[in-house]
Amino acid sequence: MSDMVRELNWERSRKSAVSRAGGADCLRNSRIKRMTDVVGAGLGLLILLPFLALIALAIVIESPGPVFFRQRRSGRDGRVFRIYKFRTMKVLEDGAEIVQARRDDRRVTRLGRFLRRSSIDELPQLVNVLKGEMSLVGPRPHAVAHDQYYGTMVTNYNLRFHTKPGITGLAQVNGLRGEIRDIDHMQARVARDLEYIENWSWTMDARILVRTLACAPFHSAAY
């Protein structure tokens, strides 16, 4: 699918989302959400900087390769950006075919296994939040190759692009995270993402963030 056709499809999906949910425009245009993102991500990076530097050093010592893993993801309105994560694998996949991490995946390094289980590998995405490419809370972004596949397989999949993707989201705090096992699993995620978009409020974001801190580290689906 060409970039022009993809953008047109996402624009149609965005307009459809607006007509379905009055709260969707509030989410899209909320200044308080952006302010919360900037303050939260900025403070998080400032406080965690020494810890993040130690993680980066440990990655360099353990295995050859870059500290950060960057991969193309789809953001609001389908705009492509590069997401930041700590490198946890021996490979850096970002092409037409991307194999998701599975339990006991041999591509994952020893340190990477801990980083993934604890969700520490996601912390560099605070930079994406400061850049305005992501939000603290929103639908989790998938690899561009996966968006192209599931966009044709899952009803209303592209409505997720009405808002910025998030480091965490309603789907994730309800246990829908990690490896996507089948189409039904993705449909369940999309349903939660659309529920979030249609019913967004600042207090909902706050509840999701608190639940993330409580349940994200060492979740059974993180591997």
3-state SS record for 85-110: EECCECCCCCCCCCCCCCCCCCCECH
CB 120 within 8 A of CB 112: no
Smallest CA-to-CA distance from 171 within 101, 221, 129 is with 221
Q: Supply angle C-alpha 88, 139, 102, rounded to 5.
A: 35
What mean pLDDT do residues 209-215 have?
91
Average pLDDT, the chain: 85
Rounded mean pLDDT, 116-137: 96
Mean predicted confidence (pLDDT) in 105-119: 88
Confidence (pLDDT) at 203: 93
**Does residue 194 carry a pLDDT above 80?**
yes
C-alpha span between 223 and 218 (Å, rounded): 9
Q: Residue 2: helix, strand or coil by DSSP? A: coil
Q: 102-139: b or e for each residue (b if 16 or more CB lie within 10 Å)?
A: eeebeebbebbbbbbbebbbbbbbbebbbeebbbbbbb
- Taken as a whole, the chain contains a residue count of 223
197: left (phi over 0), alpha (psi -120 to 50) or beta: alpha
Q: How confident is the model at residue 176 (pLDDT cuts 50, 70, 90)?
A: confident
Q: Which of 40-44, 56-60, 98-102, 121-125 has the lowest mean pLDDT?
A: 98-102
Compute how many other C-beta atoms are within 10 angstroms of the C-beta atom of residue 23: 15
How much is the pLDDT for 23? 65
Tell me how crowded residue 21 is: count the other CB atoms within 10 A of its CB: 19
pLDDT at 186: 92
- Bridge-partner residues for 168, per DSSP? 137
pTM higher than the cut 0.85: no
Q: Confidence band (pLDDT; 50, 70, 90) for 204?
A: very high
pLDDT band at 105 (very low <50, low <70, confident <90, very high): confident
Domain residue extents for the chain: 3-215
Residue range 8-13: mean pLDDT, rounded: 56
How many C-beta atoms surround the C-beta of residue 88 within 10 A? 22
Going by pLDDT thresholds of 50, 70 and 90, the confidence category of residue 223 is: very low
User: Is 70 exceeded by the pLDDT of residue 152?
Assistant: yes
Per-residue pLDDT reduced to its tens digit, 15-64: 554 444 456 778 888 899 999 999 999 999 999 999 999 999 999 999 88
How many C-beta atoms surround the C-beta of residue 179 within 10 A?
13
CB 149 within 8 A of CB 143: no
pLDDT at 209 over 80: yes
Say whether 202 sits in a helix, a strand or coil: helix
* Beta bridge partners of residue 86, listed in sequence order: 68
Q: Is the pLDDT of residue 4 over 60?
A: no
**Distance (Å, whole) CA 143 – CA 149:** 10
Question: What's the pLDDT band for 222 if we cut at 50, 70, 90?
Answer: low
